Amino acid sequence: MLKSEKMSRMTISGHKKDLADLSKLLNDQNLVHVVDYNNEDDGFSLGKSLDYGEKSSDFLVKLRSVIKLLDVESSPPSTIKLDSEIESEISELDGIISQAHDFKAKERDCDRRIDEVSSSIEQLKEFEEFNIDVKYLSGYSSVAVFAGHLPSDSDSSSLASNKNIDFIQKDDNVVVFCASEISTEIEKDLLNIGFRSMDVPEGEGLPKVMLTSLSSQLLKLEHEKAGLLQEIEILAARHGDWLVACEEHYAALSEKSSLPLKLATSENMFVLDGWVPSDSVSDLQQSLQGLDIYYEVDNNSSDEPPIKLDNPEVAKPFELFTKLYSTPKHWEYDPTMIIFITYPLFFGLMVGDAGYGFAYILFGHYILTKFAHNEALANLGKILRTAGIYTFLFGTFIYAEAFGQSFYNIGNTLGYTSALFAKYYGPSFDIPLIEKAEGFSWHLPIHKFDPHGAQLMLLSSILIGVIHISLGLILGFLNEWKHHDLKHAIYAKLSFFMILWGGLLSLVSLVGLLPESFQTIGLVVMLTGLGLAIIGEGVVGLLEFPTIFSNVISYARIGAIGLSDYGLAYTVNFISFSLLWPSGPAGIIAAVFVMLIGHLTVFTLGIIGTGINSLRLQYVEFFTKFVQGGGTLYSPFGYIRKYTKEKEVTP
């Protein structure tokens, strides 16, 4: 589980006429990670795509174009289509493309006309209060027209009294008519009082009448666009699943046809270089017996193999985090199984609330079922669901709280609520179960509302950090020992392990939890580790000396975030219950609103803040101790179909 699967090197060679059959077989087996040929050998070059590759690529381009045009989204497959069905129906594609382009062209034209009408309406609104035909605002040969805005504090009295012009003003908008020979002078006068010109609308008629007509046109155009969008949605719904299935089929054919592009080929022969999981070599060999080809298997190749992560099914969703960081080298430990335990553990310790935990379980399950066809989102749903289970368990049995309300205070809270209902709505509204709930208590080890509980949370977080980082250093030590030698492992990893535990022993004995003699032992161990680090890494080892302790302190965020989340939820409850008194029904409505919005906010912050911080502890404090990364992820040749099923014979 902590190591990737063992890989074997396989070389396959044969006559080029057998490439199509080999491509079909390797695609079906989905086992061989093909190493791309580097095109460096005399007499060999990269091959050319198989015969059906060009046709498949053409169809694929068309399909992806229309899928994007119609905004078709993949959904879980309802029925599996045979490739023979797709081949017989593909002639319908051009008709669908034509319809899609026709609708989109009409939509673009409609958008253009809507923009034009909207622009005209905006222009006319500036002249709405002027009782003058729009056609009189332009088109003169000897008369100049100025239309625009004046600041509200400008003095236009001089212009209004000018006998050589016609001056019309409505609010801050003005229109000025003057002879062309004095237009320059009038324009200067206008600019001096802050005039800003505006475009004069085109057309004929009074502005108010034209606005009514244009508004009617705009409404018709918007209805027309809505109809077009509905037609596009209907077209996408009618053919969406078929288009997705076709896209998958031709993507698979295109993938199969591309095999020669990865191989070394001569005039008549080909050579394939690849990797196969060692456990699957015999199965592949048996399948290859039916082809006239030659193959060799090397189980002890010194080259860097691709990495196939090997984890139980329950932990596979957490491979997402490992790949997001970096694929480990073949000699490194795979952290997936550890992060499967520690990520939801840290998440649960941080939130530690039964109510939110149950909500995370439901939300994670919703994501998983809603997006089951999307592997990445489905894995996120599984991760959140697992984290929610931890959160629920810690919230129930360790912290004893739900939605920021401690089980210790549940009796008082319910009693308070019952008293409010009885006060405002009469004794008939009293809740008889409340009396039974009063005084309810549950003795638990950690109480967030108690100072001692907060101290325990922070100290426990530090202890978790020591254990987590120590595990990383141990794995790093084993990695270095295997990849280099024992001496290198001691200098690079054991030295910092000694620094960490030597410092811890000194600190614990200093505060009186261990005999004083352990302080001396701890200092000796820590200084010895420091010396080894300096010998092995020089000045870098000295500079990294305080880093190991800062990494440990960073784990205090587990307790700190747990307390802050509790504080936020508690505050939401406090405000909500405060609104109940003495506001009556209005207070109840306000309290419910605050309760819903507040807890939804805390729920969201829990996913984002807690999720990121839990992942940060893995990446920054833990992974860096033993994961160098940079490996090549195992990617076998072949296309995994979800919506289609292939026949035995390749078309």
At residue 335's C-alpha, the angle toward residues 331 and 337, to 5°, is 120
Residue 562 CA to residue 633 CA, distance in Å, equals: 36
Residue 165 near residue 178, CB atoms below 8 Å: yes
Helices (H) and strands (E) in the chain, counts: 22, 14
pLDDT tens, residue by residue, 574-583: 888 888 766 6
Quickly state the pLDDT bin for 126 (edges 50, 70, 90).
Answer: confident
What's this model's pTM, rounded to 2 decimal places? Answer: 0.78
Residue 602 CA to residue 599 CA, distance in Å, equals: 5
Ramachandran angles phi, psi of 175, nearest 5°: -130, 130
Report pLDDT for 449: 78
Element (H, E) at 117: helix 93-125
Selection from 138, 150, 251 nearest residue 191 by Cα:
150
Q: Is 42 helix (H, G, I), strand (E, B) or coil?
A: coil
Q: Is 322 helix (H, G, I), strand (E, B) or coil?
A: helix
Give bridge partners of residue 81 from the DSSP assignment. Answer: 644
What angle in degrees, to the nearest 10, is found between the helix axes of 53-70 and 93-125?
A: 30
In the chain the domains, ranked by start, together with CATH numbers, are 7-50+258-298 (3.30.70.120), 51-120+213-246 (no CATH), 123-211 (3.30.70), 314-449+556-625 (no CATH), 484-539 (no CATH)
pLDDT tens, residue by residue, 393-451: 999 888 888 898 877 655 444 444 455 445 554 554 444 433 333 443 444 567 787 78
More confident residue, 337 or 578: 337
Residue 156 CA to residue 186 CA, distance in Å, equals: 12
| Tokens 């405060």, located at residue | 578
pLDDT tens, residue by residue, 347-380: 999 999 999 999 999 999 999 998 887 888 999 9
What token pair was written down for 270?
């080909």
pLDDT tens, residue by residue, 248-302: 999 999 999 999 999 999 989 999 999 999 999 999 999 998 888 999 999 888 8
Q: Quote the distance between the C-alpha of residue 550 and its chain's center.
A: 30
pLDDT tens, residue by residue, 470-523: 999 999 999 999 988 999 999 999 999 999 999 999 988 887 777 878 888 989
Measured CA distances, 636 to 304, 378, 616, 631 (Å) = 16, 22, 31, 15
Average pLDDT of 22-46? 90
pLDDT tens, residue by residue, 556-573: 999 999 999 998 998 998
Report pLDDT for 202: 83
pLDDT at 468 over 60: yes
Report pLDDT for 421: 47
Q: 428-442, 580-594, 607-621: which has the highest mean pLDDT?
A: 607-621
pLDDT tens, residue by residue, 633-650: 999 999 988 888 876 544
Report pLDDT for 636: 94
Residue 404, Ramachandran bin (φ over 0: left; ψ between -120 and 50: alpha; else beta): left
Q: Which amino acid is at 158?
A: S
Average pLDDT of 217-240? 93
Calculate what percentage of the chain has a pLDDT beyond 70: 93
Selection from 321, 320, 318, 275 nearest residue 299 by Cα:
275
More confident residue, 160 or 384: 384
Average pLDDT of 58-73? 92
Quickly state the pLDDT bin for 453 (edges 50, 70, 90).
Answer: confident
Q: Is 625 helix (H, G, I), strand (E, B) or coil?
A: helix
Helix, strand, coil share (%) of the chain residues, nearest 5: 65, 10, 25
Residues in the chain: 651
Q: Is 644 helix (H, G, I), strand (E, B) or coil?
A: strand
Residue 651 CA to residue 649 CA, distance in Å, equals: 6
Q: What is the mean pLDDT of the chain?
A: 87
Q: Quote the distance between the C-alpha of residue 285 and its chain's center.
A: 41
Measured CA distances, 475 to 319, 335, 544, 546 (Å) = 18, 10, 19, 21
Q: Quote the distance between the C-alpha of residue 137 and its chain's center.
A: 56
Report pLDDT for 350: 94
Residue 527 CA to residue 523 CA, distance in Å, equals: 6
